[in-house]
Structure 1
Amino acid sequence: MVVAEHDRATREHLAELLRDQGFIVATASSGQKAIDAVRAQPVDLVLLDVDMPGLSGIDVCRVIKTITKDRFVPVVLLTPPGDESARIQGLRTGADDHVAKPMDDADLLTCVDHMLRVKRTHDDVEFAKSELRYSSLHERLGVLPDPRYFHQRLEHEFAEARRHLDPLACCILAVDGLQKPVAEHGPEVALPALDEVCERVQRTIRNTDVAARFRAAEFGLLLPNTRPARALALAECVVAEVASRPIEVGDVRIPLTTSIGVGLFPSANVRTHSELLDAASVAVARARVAGPNRVCVVQQQGYIFSPSLSGAA
Structure 2
Amino acid sequence: MSAPTVMIADDDEMIRAVVRDGLENEGYQVVEAVDGPAAVELCRTDPPDVVLLDVEMPGLDGYQVLTELKGDAELKDIPVVFLTSRSTMDDVVAGLRGGAHDYLSKPFEGAELLARVAAASHVKKLQDELQERNAALEELVRIDSLTGLYNRRYLDQELTRRLSDSLRHGYPLSVVLFDLDHFKRVNDIYGHAAGDQVLRAFAGHLHRELRPGDVGGRWGGEEFLVILPHTDLDGAFMLADRIRSATAAEPVSADGQSITVTISGGCAVGPFGSVEAMVKLADARLYQAKLAGRNQIVTAATPPIG
Length-normalised TM-score, structure 1: 0.50
Distance in 2 (alpha carbons) for counterparts of 1:70 and 1:47: 14
Given the alignment of the two structures, is residue 215 of structure 1 paired with residue 217 of structure 2, yes or no? no
Shift of 1:243: 6.4
User: Could you tell me whether the CA contact under 8 Å between 2:179 and 2:263 is conserved in 1?
Assistant: no
Using a 3 Å threshold, how does the CA distance of structure 1 residues 135 and 24 change in structure 2: closer, same or farther? same
Q: Distance in 1 between matches of 2:21 and 2:202?
A: 47
Find the counterpart in structure 2 of residue 15 from structure 1. Answer: 20
Q: Does 1:248 align with 2:251?
A: no
CA distance in 1 between partners of 2:88 and 2:72 (Å): 27
**Partner Cα distance (1:105, 1:94) in 2:** 24
Q: 1:70 to 1:129 in 2, by over 3 A?
A: farther
Offset at residue 246 of structure 1 (A)? 5.2
Measured against aligned partners, the alpha-carbon deviations of 1:189-228 in whole angstroms (never above 9, x if no partner) come to: 77989xx999527999xxxxxxxx8826899xxxxxxxxx
Which of 34, 39, 56 aligns to 1:34? It is 39
Letter in 2 for 1:252: N
Cα RMSD over matched residues? 4.1
Q: Which ranges in structure 1 are unaligned for 5 or more consecutive residues?
A: 150-185, 205-212, 220-240, 255-313
Match of 1:122 in 2: 127
Q: What's the CA shift for 1:33?
A: 0.4
Hey, what does 1:138 align to over in structure 2?
143
Cα deviation per residue 1:131-190 (whole Å; 9 max; x = unaligned)? 1111111259976359xx9xxxxxxxxxxxxxxxxxxxxxxxxxxxxxxxxxxxx98477
Partner Cα separation in structure 2 for residue 112 and residue 216 of structure 1: 43
Which amino acid letter does the alignment assign opposite residue 107 of structure 2? P
Matches within 5 A, 1:62-141: 62-68=67-73, 72-139=77-144
Asked if the contact 1:143–1:198 (Cα under 8 Å) also holds between the matched residues in 2, the reply is no
Q: CA deviation at 1:64?
A: 1.1
CA distance in 1, matches of 2:198, 2:135: 20
Q: Deviations over 1:64-123 (max 9, x none)?
A: 111245662111111215333222111111111111110111101101111111111111
Task: Supply the distance in 1 between the matched residues of 2:108 and 2:96 (Cα, whole angstroms).
Answer: 19
Query: Residue 16 of structure 1 aligns to which amino acid in structure 2?
Result: D
Residue 25 of structure 1 aligns with an amino acid whose one-letter code is: V
What residue identity is the alignment partner of 1:137?
R
> Match of 2:53?
48
CA drift at 1:20:
2.0
User: CA contact under 8 A between 2:146 and 2:200: conserved in structure 1?
Assistant: no
1:63 CA drift (Å): 0.5
The 3 A distance-change label for structure 1 pair 82 and 127 is same
CA 1:88 to 1:203, structure 2 compared with 1: closer, same or farther past 3 Å?
A: same
Whole-angstrom distance in 1 between the partners of 2:146 and 2:94: 47
| Count, aligned residues | 185
Alignment-derived partner of residue 229 in structure 2: none
- Structure 1 residue 39, shift from structure 2 partner: 0.5
Is the CA contact 2:82–2:103 (under 8 Å) kept in the aligned structure 1? yes
CA gap of 1:217–1:106, structure 2 versus 1, over 3 A, is same
3-state DSSP class of the match of 2:133? helix
SS of the aligned residue for 1:215 comes to coil
Match of 2:221 in 1: none
Q: Find the counterpart in structure 1 of residue 200 from structure 2.
A: 200
Partner deviation per Cα, 1:287-308 (whole Å, 9 max, x = no partner): xxxxxxxxxxxxxxxxxxxxxx
Note the residue ranges of structure 2 that are not aligned, 5 or more in a row.
1-5, 155-173, 182-195, 205-209, 217-249, 254-258, 265-293, 298-306
Kindly provide the amino acid, as one letter, of the partner of residue 200 in structure 2: R
Structure 2 CA distance for aligned equivalents of residues 106 and 31 of structure 1: 26
User: Normalization by structure 2: what TM-score?
Assistant: 0.51
Cα 1:247–1:34 change in 2 (3 A) is farther
Contact 1:81 1:100 in 2 (8 A): yes
Whether the 8 Å contact between 2:104 and 2:113 is mirrored in structure 1 is yes
**1:54 shift after superposition:** 2.1
Contact 1:18 1:25 in 2 (8 A): yes
Larger radius of gyration: 2
How much identity, in percent, do the aligned residues show?
28
